Amino acid sequence: MSILIIDSKPGSEMQVRSAFGEQGFDRIDIIKTAEQALAFIAEKDNASGVDEVNLIVIDGELDDGDGFELCRRIRQTKSGDRAYIIMLVSSIENKSAIEKARHSGASDFAVKPYDGMEFIKHLMLFAHKKAVFLVEDDPVVRQLVMSLLYKKQVELIVADDGLRAYNLINSMVPPKLVLLDIGLPGMNGVKLVSHIRSKKIWQRTPVLMLTASTDAADVKGSLSAGANDYIVKPFKVADFVKRIDNYFTGDVS
């Protein structure tokens, strides 16, 4: 899974990595030209299908070509056909560019800067459709859940302790789903659920608890704090997939 940014502007790389990192997205490739972007996509298409491009952000004005035409060409590729594509336009008032973005096959459009409210708003639309926030400190369980979610073409944001998760919740856009272990170092999952529900933009984000606890009070506490459901570890793969499918039906291509 990866994010591809295609932007010719000098000095944009540091800004991109900082802005996306604050939202919990850190697997980013940044490419300057249309030619390099098409080569990158072709390499992905010829690979085994692992680590597919999930989000592509294209500046409408590239040094070596038209970003809108590049979007059309990317849509004709195997990787591009499945990706969520955001076209960058110069201004929200640039109706012509917005119309071109719609006709280019883009999923959405946005206006830079990357850390600006207008861009973050459109990144939230992507996150609501595609991103899952996994908080799990057990490396075996974490890897199993990640492998199952990769098959669903989602972008994974991962934390392995409660304090890291707390800090991400304070800065990132709300994802489609949160998978949250109860027993975490730093801060437990029940406190994290309470923190999630205290934030207005997170109040409707589904939270599914992962727990190895046999203490009913732990589960009751997480549900009382605002969790939507829970899964007891160890779980059967088929049961886990069926449970999370309830949150993805009709939303994940």
The first and second tokens of residue 238, run together, are: 């088929």
Structure tokens at 229: 């459901």
Residue 223 CB neighbours (<10 A): 16
Domain 131-248, second-level architecture = 3-Layer(aba) Sandwich (3.40)
Q: Does position 243 have pLDDT exceeding 70, yes or no?
A: yes
Which residues, in sequence order, are CB contacts of 78 under 8 Å at separation 6+? 45
Q: Provide the β-strand partners of residue 41.
A: none
Asked whether the beta carbons of 198 and 234 are under 8 A apart, the reply is no
State residue 213's pLDDT score: 73
More confident residue, 29 or 23: 29
Q: Kindly state the average pLDDT of the residues 201-219.
A: 86
50 pLDDT higher than 60: no
Closest CA to 193 of 160, 159, 165: 165
> Could you tell me the pLDDT band of residue 239, with boundaries at 50, 70 and 90?
very high
For position 252, what pLDDT does the model report? 40
Map out the domains of the chain as residue ranges: 2-115, 131-248
Is residue 102's pLDDT more than 50?
Answer: yes
* pLDDT tens-place string over residues 128-172: 888 899 999 999 999 999 999 988 878 889 999 999 999 999 988
pLDDT at residue 52 is higher than 90? no
Question: pLDDT over 90 for what percent of the chain?
Answer: 63
Residue 46 pLDDT level (bands cut at 50, 70, 90): confident
What's the pLDDT at 253?
Answer: 39
- Mean of the per-residue pLDDT values for the chain? 90
Query: What single-letter DSSP state applies at residue 174?
Result: P
Residue 109 identity (one-letter amino acid): F
Taking 50 as the threshold, does the pLDDT of residue 194 lie above it? Answer: yes
Residue 213 and residue 188 in contact, taking contact as beta carbons nearer than 8 Å = no
Instruction: Work out the number of other CB atoms within 10 angstroms of the CB of residue 236.
Output: 9
pLDDT above 70 coverage of the chain, percent: 96
Q: Which of 77-81, 183-187, 219-223 has the highest mean pLDDT?
A: 183-187
Say yes or no: do domains 2-115 and 131-248 share a fold.
yes
Residues whose CB is less than 8 angstroms from the CB of residue 249 and which lie 6 or more positions away in sequence, other chains included: none
Residues in the chain: 253
Instruction: Give the helix ranges, DSSP H, for 153-236.
Output: 162-171, 189-197, 216-225
Closest CA to 158 of 195, 132, 129: 132
Q: What is the CATH number of domain 2-115?
A: 3.40.50.2300
Look at residues 111, 104, 113 and name the one whose alpha carbon lies nearest to residue 66: 104
Give the separation between CA 140 and CA 180, rounded to whole angstroms. 15
Q: What is the separation, in whole angstroms, between the first and last Cα of the chain?
A: 14
**83: closest CA among 48, 121, 130, 139?**
130
